[in-house]
Amino acid sequence: MTEREVVLDVPVQPPTDLFLPIPKKFLEEAYRGDDYVVLVGPQHPGSGHMRLILRIKGDVILEAIPDPGYVHRCMEKLAENRLYIQNIPLFERPAIMDTGNVTLGYVRAIENALDVEVPERAKYIRMILAELSRIGTHLYDAGILAVFLGHTTGFMWPFALREPIVEAITRISGVRVTSSFIIPGGVRRDVPWKTLEFVRKTTFVLEKRLKSFEKIFIRNPTVIERLKDVGVLSKEEAIKFGVVGPFLRASGVEYDVRAVEPYEAYDSVSWEIPISDHGDSYSRFLVRVEEIAQSISIIRQAVNELRSMPEGNIISEDILQEYSEVASSDIRGFFFKVFGNLVLPSGEFTSLTEAARGTLLYSIISDGESNIPYRARVITPGWYYLKGFMEALRGERLADLQAIYGSFGYFPPEADR
Amino acid sequence: MPELFGVSDILDVISMQHFVQNMVSIPLIQPVIDFLLQIPVLGYIVALILWKPMFALLIFPGLMTLLTVLLFIIWFERKLTARIQWRKGPLEVLRWAGGVIQALADGLRYFFQEVIVHRDAHRLYFLQFPILIFIPVLLPLLFIPAGTIVGIKSPYSLAITVAVVSLIPVFIVAIGWASNSRFAYIGTVREAFMYFAYEIPFIISVISMILVYGTADMVTIVERQAIPGIILNPIAALVFFITTVMATSRLPFEIPEADQEIAFGPFVEYSGIMFGLVMTIAYEKMYILSLLMSILFLGGGNGPAIPLLGDISGVIWLFIKAMAVMVSLAFLRSIYARLRLDQALRVSWTTIMKISLVSLAIGVIINLTTVGVVG
């Protein structure tokens, strides 16, 4: 046998021209119009994991084109090869702190499909977890906003304030960030009253520390100067560009999924939807600060409710079936037996959730016979408001890019999924 | 025409006798100095170092103090900010002293890092400007009097100092130009805008103090401050302080560097020891302006004399005052956010300009009323 050279006749030619993620026409027009094209990111300290293509005239942004996708992780495709229950830890990866809301959305889509009623106690525990996540995310975003404005104290304090929340989540679920605590039909295990008491005390600590944060950052004259009347989105624009969540409410639209289609126990606690009419960066920030206060109030009410409830029974019997005797207060040891062969009826099941950064949509398509989804669709709030974010940049100064970015709390891993 | 310098004149100037006549006197260690002066070569060196102009150049406010202050203030700023932000700050290098030589360790690291000169840079200027910038940074130190110790006495020393300090931004603009990068370009334009915005109120506040004291000689200015300048003309002190914040690009006016927006602006392309050099420019400028502020407004080397230390007591008072100013400048970093360029320009061209004119008016009034008393 002699070695033979194998030649594949595939015409491959290396690219000869420079690849740019911009239309050629855009560059040519900018060149002719004496504008400046600046590519901010993806390795820029103030861009996150994305690229922003800016066309600048003098110091004013004429046009902003996003180039996202640098942290795309094929979440939807990966979900098609996993058991329904295995997708919970997968889907909570994009949002660092928002574990409660992100898993809640997915789990509710499954519950819609199975038509399961969640026990009352589990509803409250889920709500506490979701609100803790919401506070954590808002603090995280406040920190990012502060460091974008060059205010390092405003960056460090919220990150330190996040720590009690992480501790509370740890005591509830056993994990600091990605808890995967919420499962179809309820939560993994019951939360003892001692932990609930810790969570309640945490809210008081937060409230106290937030007051000093308010002094140094929220009411800081330079911060107000930087954020006021910057990146304004009017009510009409915000609706037109599909902005969601606190950013929509900052433009004066009173829409909150928790209030419009109440899930869990949101209709049995009293809370308000903070809205603002200005639609600028500062009100986008203030709305979220006010939401932290509302979340704290919700958590306290929920803890009070839970006190009067008997412990145990936190997973629906429809899910547990023959294990309902042994696993009703703790799923440990029966997890695979219960969820290993979970099959959804055929059809498309959708859930809308108010995550910290806005509306979160899950859509699961099932063929009715396999234990993995046929198709899972996730639309995260970041993806919804990316257009609004880009439109808010138009006509602002280059230095305001970071202020607007921070005011939206845009989080590329969440948007790219 | 007579010879300007004969050989004997030059020998006179470099003779030990010449140094000993104008030497820093420190009664505490006088016996040691006397003993050292007896030793042939060492005595000459000691006399040279303790010769007041040379002392000003080498020890205070010159090189040694400058380096110490650079090491200290970078560490102190980080430590102070860390304490405010519920952190520990630099700690691991020299743990028992709270990481005080962190800046030195960073400097050493810069030395062993590669200096990358990118393709688009103007290589010659890119490498030489960070070194040339030390001329305007170090030159003013010669004119700054610490008590009786002063490098060069001149009736125009304040004017010369301010003029030379004003040259620093020109070098920074040149650095940005030589870098030839988009972010450096934007940062350079911002630096130029800020330069014009703070320089005029800055000079007006200095002029108003010249009017108050009736002289531009810093030695005389310090002598005439029985009442510190900050009480005579507090508005000029305020303007001087704010413009110092702008000139050293501290927060809230850290606009040309703005690392989240334009990634350190004019200095974006530097790496290795070159970055170490350009990074310290702002701190060196801060040191000079703090010295200037303590001389103009806080009485310079005036203070209760410490008999044992002799001439050094003036040095110590000036150092303490300058450090107090520097610390208050470092404190700003943890309080304020960065303003936008147009906001900073609006503030300086309107509000600060107005109050600087008020300070000038106060200077004129004091000049007219006290003429003949101090002038």
Q: B340 vs A146: CB contact, 8 Å cut-off?
A: no
8-state DSSP, A270: -
Distance between CA atoms of residues A263 and A117, nearest Å: 11
Distance between CA atoms of residues B308 and B310, nearest Å: 6
- Interface check for B334 against chain A (CB to CB < 8 A): the answer is yes
B-contacting residues in A 247-306 (Cβ below 8 Å): none
Find the CB nearest A156 among B85, B255, B342.
Answer: B85
Find the CB nearest A156 among B86, B261, B336.
Answer: B86
Find the CB nearest B334 among A45, A153, A402.
Answer: A153
How distant is the Cα of A198 from the closest Cα of chain B, in angstroms?
Answer: 22
In terms of DSSP H, where are the helices of A228-280? 235-240, 245-250, 257-260
Confidence of residue B113 (pLDDT cuts 50, 70, 90): confident
Angle at A55 between CA A50 and CA A59, to 5 degrees: 110
How distant is the Cα of B56 from the closest Cα of chain A, in angstroms?
Answer: 37
pLDDT of residue B8: 76
Question: Which residue of chain B comes nearest to A401, CA vs CA?
Answer: B261
Q: Which comes out higher in pLDDT, residue A319 or B339?
A: B339
A-contacting residues in B 257-276 (Cβ below 8 Å): 258-261, 263
Distance between CA atoms of residues B19 and B50, nearest Å: 8
Distance between CA atoms of residues B102 and A74, nearest Å: 43
Q: A45 vs B263: CB contact, 8 Å cut-off?
A: yes
**Which one of B83, B255, B332, B340 would you mutate to disrupt binding with A, by most A Cβ within 10 Å of its Cβ?**
B340
SS3 category, A353: strand
Q: A222 vs B84: CB contact, 8 Å cut-off?
A: no
- The residue-averaged pLDDT of B316-332 equals 87
**Which one of B86, B261, B342 would you mutate to disrupt binding with A, by most A Cβ within 10 Å of its Cβ?**
B261
A-contacting residues in B 84-143 (Cβ below 8 Å): 84-87
Residues of B with Cβ-Cβ distance to A223 under 8 angstroms: 337
Distance between CA atoms of residues B208 and B217, nearest Å: 14
The residue ranges of DSSP E strands in A304-374, in sequence order, are: 347-355, 358-366
Q: B182 vs A38: CB contact, 8 Å cut-off?
A: yes
Of the candidate CATH numbers 1.10.645.10, 3.30.1540.20, 2.102.10.10, 3.40.33.10, the domain formed by A75-416 belongs to: 1.10.645.10
Q: Which comes out higher in pLDDT, residue A285 or B9?
A: A285
How distant is the Cα of B126 from the closest Cα of chain A, in angstroms?
Answer: 22
Angle at B231 between CA B225 and CA B237, to 5 degrees: 95
Question: Which residue of chain B comes nearest to A402, CA vs CA?
Answer: B261
The residue ranges of DSSP E strands in A155-250, in sequence order, are: 182-183, 186-187
SS3 category, A345: coil
pLDDT of residue A2: 66
Residue A5 CB neighbours (<10 A): 4
| Location of structure tokens 């042994």 | A326
Phi, then psi, of B245 in degrees rounded to 5: -60, -40
SS3 category, A194: helix
Give, to the nearest 10 degrees, the angle between helix B102-111 and helix B63-84.
110
In terms of DSSP H, where are the helices of chain B? 7-13, 16-21, 30-38, 40-50, 52-58, 63-84, 102-111, 123-132, 134-138, 157-165, 168-179, 182-213, 218-223, 229-232, 234-247, 259-262, 272-297, 312-331, 341-346, 353-369
As given in the structure block, the two tokens for residue B89 are 């700050």
CA torsion, ordered A245, A249, A253, A259, to nearest 10 deg? 60
pLDDT in tens, A356-377: 888 999 999 988 888 888 888 9
Q: B340 vs A397: CB contact, 8 Å cut-off?
A: yes
Distance between CA atoms of residues A172 and A294, nearest Å: 21
Q: B341 vs A402: CB contact, 8 Å cut-off?
A: no
Q: B342 vs A150: CB contact, 8 Å cut-off?
A: no
As given in the structure block, the two tokens for residue A143 are 């920190």
Distance between CA atoms of residues B164 and B346, nearest Å: 26
How far CA B36 is from CA of A220, B43, B45, B57, B310, in Å, comes to 58, 5, 9, 21, 18
Q: B336 vs A156: CB contact, 8 Å cut-off?
A: no
The two beta strands, A358-366 and A347-355, are antiparallel
Given a contact cutoff of 8 angstroms between Cβ atoms, the answer to whether B358 and B323 are in contact is: no
3-state secondary structure B11-45: HHHCCHHHHHHCECCCHHHHHHHHHHHHCHHHHHH
Q: What is the DSSP string of B313-359?
A: HHHHHHHHHHHHHHHHHHHGGGT-PPPPHHHHHHIIIIIIHHHHHHH
SS3 category, A387: helix
Distance between CA atoms of residues A302 and A329, nearest Å: 19
SS3 category, A364: strand
Phi, then psi, of B336 in degrees rounded to 5: -105, 155
pLDDT in tens, B221-238: 888 888 888 888 888 889
**Residues of chain A predicted below pLDDT 70:** 1-2, 18-19, 47
Given a contact cutoff of 8 angstroms between Cβ atoms, the answer to whether A381 and A355 are in contact is: yes
- Interface check for B251 against chain A (CB to CB < 8 A): the answer is yes
Find the CB nearest B260 among A147, A153, A220.
Answer: A147
Among A241, A233, A236, residue whose Cα is nearest residue A384: A241
All residues at 6 or more sequence positions from B52 whose CB lies less than 8 Å from its CB, including other chains: B22, B23, B24, B148, B149, B150, B311
pLDDT at B2 over 60: no
> Please, what's the b/e burial string for B136-151 (b: 16 or more CB within 10 A of its CB; e: otherwise)?
bbbbbbbbbbbbbbbb
Q: B337 vs A146: CB contact, 8 Å cut-off?
A: yes
- Interface check for B70 against chain A (CB to CB < 8 A): the answer is no
pLDDT of residue B97: 81
Q: A151 vs B85: CB contact, 8 Å cut-off?
A: no
Please give the share of chain B, as a percent, with pLDDT higher than 70: 97
8-state DSSP, A255: -
pLDDT in tens, B341-354: 888 898 889 999 99
pLDDT of residue B375: 43
SS3 category, A350: strand
H-run or E-run covering A385: helix A381-393
Residue B358 CB neighbours (<10 A): 17
Q: Domain coordinates of chain A in residue numbers?
A: 75-416
Find the CB nearest B340 among A36, A38, A399.
Answer: A399
Distance between CA atoms of residues B323 and A226, nearest Å: 31
Residues of B with Cβ-Cβ distance to A152 under 8 angstroms: 81, 85, 333-334
Q: A226 vs B337: CB contact, 8 Å cut-off?
A: yes
The long-range contacts involving B316-324, CB below 8 angstroms and separated by at least 24 positions, are B317/B147, B318/B60, B318/B61, B318/B146, B318/B147, B318/B291, B318/B294, B319/B60, B319/B65, B319/B146, B321/B294, B322/B61, B322/B287, B322/B290, B322/B291, B322/B293, B322/B294, B323/B69, B323/B290, B324/B294, B324/B298
Given a contact cutoff of 8 angstroms between Cβ atoms, the answer to whether A277 and A252 are in contact is: yes
pLDDT at B355 over 60: yes
How distant is the Cα of B82 from the closest Cα of chain A, in angstroms?
Answer: 9
Phi, then psi, of A12 in degrees rounded to 5: -115, 125
Q: What is the DSSP string of A14-74?
A: ---SPP-SS-HHHHHHHHHTT-EEEEE-SSSTTT-SSEEEEEEETTEEEEEEEE--TT---
pLDDT at B1 over 60: no
pLDDT of residue B372: 47
In Å, how far from its chain's centre is CA A384? 11
Find the CB nearest A45 among B182, B260, B333.
Answer: B260
| Location of structure tokens 């405003």 | A154
